[in-house]
Amino acid sequence: MTTFPSLIKNIPLSREDFAYEAIKEAIISGDLLPSQKISLTDLAKNLGVSIIPVNSAIGRLTSEGLIRQDPHHSPYVVEFSAKDTKEVLTIRYHMEELALREAIPFVGDEQVKFLESMLDQMDVAAEQKDFHNFGILNRNFHMQIYSYNPMPMLNDMICDLWNKAELNRCRSVFSLVPNMPEHSQMEHKELLKMIAAKNTEEAIEVLRRHKNYSKVKLLEALEKQGA
């Protein structure tokens, strides 16, 4: 039976939500690989739940495009090509630019302080070369900024695109590219400085450079690996 080290073991009230989050994280973290067939029975045993919430979770992930299930065949993890990844990252950037622009007017001293505490956690992860945790914290930092805007539907779409990018190892950029976490942190701190000062256009420019650099470096690294 396949095991997934990244699965969270604290089961919340909703077993379907637990199964959904755990399986999604297993896909994004690489415990479940692109094109890998999924055994609902094995997943249920591994998670300690019945097959019913697992089946429901698979249905949700299928609707989000992370899993595909053809008639009379086992579900499997969707695989994105480098071309697809580039397209996803390009679309996601434009949505993130809009989300940032709409969020900045709602970011006050309290929000800046909280974002600074998130950057402190990321500094620790970078120093410890904990690339897996840094990748999670990186996503949380950006999404926390966007959460201050009054457009939850936009943020949901960004999350969906982030899932699709991570499916094709977007998060691995922090381990594949030398000093990538440190470089990202420099830009994160510059971005937050511009946000705190309400310099919207400067913040947008920092985000553009930040996202483009990450995209180029990821695609270069994946190309070298023959992905």
Answer yes or no: is pLDDT of 118 > 70. yes
Least confident residue range of 13-22, 40-49, 146-155, 199-208: 13-22
Q: Does the domain at residues 15-77 carry the CATH identifier 3.40.50.2300?
A: no
Q: Give me the pLDDT at residue 105, please.
A: 98
β-bridge mates for residue 3, sequence order = none
- In this structure, the number of other CB atoms found within 10 A of the CB of residue 54 comes to 27
- How many helices (DSSP H) and strands (DSSP E) are in the chain? 10, 2
Q: Strands, DSSP E only, in the chain?
A: 67-68, 76-77
pLDDT category, 1, cuts 50, 70, 90? low
Answer yes or no: is pLDDT of 62 > 80. yes
Q: Nearest Cα to 203, choosing from 108, 96, 123? A: 96
- Indicate the burial class of 88 (C-beta count within 10 angstroms; 0-12, 13-18, 19 or more): buried
Q: Nearest Cα to 183, choosing from 193, 173, 169? A: 173
What distance in Å separates the CA atoms of residue 173 and residue 189, rounded to the nearest whole number? 19
β-bridge mates for residue 37, sequence order = 76
What distance in Å separates the CA atoms of residue 64 and residue 27, rounded to the nearest whole number? 13
Q: Give me the pLDDT at residue 35, please.
A: 83
Residue with the two structure tokens 């956690």: 121
Q: Give me the pLDDT at residue 132, please.
A: 85
> Taking residues 197-226, what's their average pLDDT?
91
User: CATH 1.10.10.10 spans which residues of the chain?
Assistant: 15-77
CATH topology of domain 82-224: Four Helix Bundle (Hemerythrin (Met), subunit A) (1.20.120)
Q: Give me the pLDDT at residue 5, please.
A: 52
Q: Are strands 76-77 and 67-68 parallel, antiparallel or unpaired?
A: antiparallel
Answer yes or no: is pLDDT of 139 > 90. yes
pLDDT category, 68, cuts 50, 70, 90? very high
Answer yes or no: is pLDDT of 21 > 80. yes
Q: Give me the pLDDT at residue 72, please.
A: 84
Q: Which residues of 150-171 are buried (b: 16+ CB within 10 A; e: fewer)?
A: eeeebbeebebbbbbbbbbbbb
> Taking residues 71-80, what's their average pLDDT?
85
User: CATH 1.20.120.530 spans which residues of the chain?
Assistant: 82-224
Residue with the two structure tokens 């996601």: 92
Q: Give me the pLDDT at residue 7, please.
A: 52
Helix axes 40-47, 15-29, angle to 10 degrees: 110
Residues of the chain with pLDDT > 70, as a percent, come to 91
Residue with the two structure tokens 């030398």: 178
Q: Give me the pLDDT at residue 161, please.
A: 92
Q: Nearest Cα to 4, choosing from 26, 36, 20? A: 26
CB distance 57 to 172 below 8 Å: no
Answer yes or no: is pLDDT of 92 > 60. yes
**The model's pTM:** 0.75
- Provide the 3-class DSSP secondary structure of residue 77: strand
List the structure tokens of 61.
Answer: 């992930």
Q: Give me the pLDDT at residue 24, please.
A: 86
